[in-house]
Structure 1
């Protein structure tokens, strides 16, 4: 039975609804997903489908968390509280051990620290606690000489940058985000989900055998590779990435690399607020700040993923990595289960997508391409 598509689109964005409906019609009967977009701060797409799904349902968004975390860093750089070319040790002296003393904040944000994990891995409780992760990493010898190469710091980049935020401001990254971003804009994008909001959370589901394969799982001969270390597969209790948001301790503490809970409205709203007037408020980022953080800083072979990747500062280079038709300087971040979110300052397009069942092979779900193309065409035509 074909699922009903809920929600609305603005005039000119009907093709986005058509693409969403066409995709949903090919999916399992239990598909759940949400799609939202803004153009210059005006909501133009607001769609959802699936049994039990509402416009305000909340999902684990995995690494899309990093976008919220590094929006905070961008704001603090814009304020002058942080300086990109300061050494990390200026803020965090203990970080200097094991040859890490020359690394700058700019290099850290570009995934160039060589500090993707620890020799023995983390417990679940440690992964939930950014301060615990940062304390362990301060003493860790890097896995390549800092600054000479790059690799995806999948589970730890938010803890590293979060410790710098804490040292510079005296407050956690999560607290700064709540005060300056989430609460003022009323965003359904939480770094630390309050217990009162738990009924809105929809637990992540694993792929079924019909989906073709399973998400990455540890293999005995790869646990101690860079990828194995970066995804905590070598720990005494290896991390099952696909189910990480289903742990209440992760949702409650909101670790800044992977722990956010959000709706598509929240994802798109975050990026709309970043670059556009939103809810009668000025954009969070000045154009020069957005351009600095969206500029390519690490491009080429990613030592962790083993693939060609491109990163700005804390954000993925979304146009280079996923959607080359987007404007240069697009800032955003995808999440392992399939979520995607970004802002394209050149068109004013802000986009957010969530889904409940983990999408293979991981990262931005393939269906995002057709949705983003349709939204981008409509934004250009508007």
Structure 2
């Protein structure tokens, strides 16, 4: 049974949408998150279980359940679901050298880098010495060509670091060389279109009126955003801070949205992202799972753990996905997904049959978005454990 709420709060703080009976606590948690925003923020939350949408909520200026916005690294989830499907199909081999698919990549000591190492952020090919411009960053094909001619920033396989804006350009070129089709094309024709999910790697121009621009973070009194001078050299290279000191602008360029840059250029709604993950683990529209249990286990298992040499902090990566149970203790080790720079989070939990997506269109400062997701995820798991819905 669905229950609705169109009266929580006033004006921009009103929470709209529906939850299944038994998930009212999720709506209350979402309302708390909305109330706690220091600045007006567009937010959406969607949760599926066994293919059924249990939670569908939204709030904020000009936002509805169909609104689309830039989801940054949540895009990597779509990109690497494609890779996982092609590995499952036997088209790609995780332990084959990238250069076997893409000979030009094998220069400057990169000839032995495997697809597995690439997906685990161990390749050391985080950017280029000349640094990509914003226009170049929008184009995965152009970046792949330049990255092939770049020496790695560490000996591949000896360390790991987040390939934040280039990982899907690299894996996407492997897909293109192996299949003759782009990663974006595979996503569109194998996942997005068949399931009708609003999660785009390449936003059609006719859908532009539904796009809500991403808003920059607004520091509270006494707070300040990190200045470019405070960014380490590897991080500055990986995120091209010379040309893009404020990452929030990236998806607001039509070129980024049109080309569907696979690392950070995706556009989606929470419904669309959660629906895609629901399709992956099975049950959406009564269809079988897109990935087998063995494939999900392979791609969700820890491959890199310790100090991320790009970001400088403790981190863990699976294959193309983030490992999430340390950040969100309510989740088990089988959960796989990816967060996004504005504070979005999306994942599937095969054990619980859950698919979750929280999307926001304003950058969060510090760890505030992690706290928001922790609150929401805890309540989702609590409601699901009660066996309702």
TM-score, normalized by the shorter chain, greater than 0.5: yes
- 1:192 and 2:198 are equivalent in the alignment: no
Pick from 281, 306, 319 the counterpart of residue 313 of structure 1.
319
1:92 matched residue in structure 2: 102
Unaligned ranges ≥5, structure 2: 1-8
Q: 1:211 to 1:58 in 2, by over 3 A?
A: farther
Q: What does 1:8-157 correspond to in 2, within 5 Å?
A: 8-28=18-38, 30-157=40-167
Measure the CA separation in 2 of the matches of 1:44 and 1:150: 37
- 1:278 and 2:288 are equivalent in the alignment: no
How far the C-alpha of 1:211 sits from its partner, in A, is 7.2
Partner secondary structure for residue 193 of structure 2: helix
User: What is the CA RMSD across the aligned residues, in angstroms?
Assistant: 1.6
How far the C-alpha of 1:210 sits from its partner, in A, is 2.6
Pick from 368, 372, 376 the counterpart of residue 377 of structure 2.
372
The 8 Å contact of residues 39 and 218 in structure 2, kept in 1 or not, is answered as: no
Unaligned ranges ≥5, structure 1: none
Partner secondary structure for residue 44 of structure 2: strand
1:361 matched residue in structure 2: 366
How far the C-alpha of 1:213 sits from its partner, in A, is 3.8
Pick from 338, 341, 344 the counterpart of residue 336 of structure 1.
341
1:256 matched residue in structure 2: 262
The 8 Å contact of residues 219 and 365 in structure 2, kept in 1 or not, is answered as: no
How far the C-alpha of 1:378 sits from its partner, in A, is 1.4
Partner secondary structure for residue 368 of structure 1: helix
Q: 1:189 to 1:346 in 2, by over 3 A?
A: same
Using structure 2 for the length normalisation, give the TM-score. Answer: 0.94
How many residue pairs were aligned?
377
Q: 1:212 to 1:178 in 2, by over 3 A?
A: farther
Q: Deviations over 1:111-144 (max 9, x none)?
A: 0000111101012221111011011110101000
Q: 1:304 to 1:95 in 2, by over 3 A?
A: same
Measure the CA separation in 2 of the matches of 1:139 and 1:81: 25
The 8 Å contact of residues 327 and 345 in structure 1, kept in 2 or not, is answered as: no
How far the C-alpha of 1:215 sits from its partner, in A, is 4.5
Partner secondary structure for residue 107 of structure 2: helix
The 8 Å contact of residues 74 and 289 in structure 1, kept in 2 or not, is answered as: yes
How far the C-alpha of 1:27 sits from its partner, in A, is 2.4
Q: 1:134 to 1:303 in 2, by over 3 A?
A: same
The 8 Å contact of residues 336 and 364 in structure 1, kept in 2 or not, is answered as: no
